[in-house]
Amino acid sequence: MPVEENKAIVRRYLDEAWNKQNVNILDELMTPDYARYVGTSGAHLDREGQKQRLAGLHKAFGELQLVLDDMLAEEDEVTIRIRLIGTHRDTFMGVPATGKRITIAAIDILRFVDGKVAEHWGVMDTYGALQQLGAIS
C-alpha cells in the first residue's frame, strides 16, 4: 500500500472516530484481528475494546477534539503526534469531573496490512493530564 494512502486512512480515522465520534469506522479501517497496545505490558484491545475506549474518552471530555501536529510514514507504518483537547465532564482515571479544559499529548504508531490498520501502539501523557486536572502536583 502506498505511503500516501496509509496517511489518508490515518487522517480519516482521526477525523471520523475522534472528531466526529463515529467509532464504527473502525470496522472499515482496521483489520478483524486489529490490536491496540495501550501500555508496555503487551496487553491490547481489539476493535470493540478500542471503540469502548474512544467512547469513554468522549464521555470523560466533552466536545473532545483531536489535533494532528505531525505525521511521518515509511513503508507499512505511520507515526503521528497528536493533542486531545476537551473539557473534563466525567470521571477520568478515577478523577471526578472538574470542568477544566485540558490538552493531552500523545504519540501513536499504526502498522498497515492490506490497506487496513493491523497494529496500533500509543502513548498518552497521562501524568500531564492528571496534573492539569489537579489530581497530582
DSSP 33-86: EEEEE-SSSS-EE-HHHHHHHHHHHHHHEEEEEEEEEEEEEETTEEEEEEEEEE
Torsion on CA atoms 12, 66, 117, 111, rounded to nearest 10: 120
Extents of the domains making up the chain: 3-132
Which H/E stretch holds residue 87? strand 77-88
C-alpha cell at 132: 492539569
User: Is-above-0.95 flag for pTM?
Assistant: no
Averaged confidence pLDDT in the chain:
95
Per-residue pLDDT at 105:
98
pLDDT of residue 39: 75
Walk along the chain (137 residues) and give the pLDDT tens digit of each residue. 699 999 999 999 999 999 999 999 999 999 999 999 987 777 899 999 999 999 999 999 988 999 999 999 999 999 999 999 999 999 999 999 999 999 999 999 999 999 999 999 999 999 999 999 999 98
Architecture of domain 3-132: Roll (3.10)
Rounded CA separation 74/43 (Å): 25
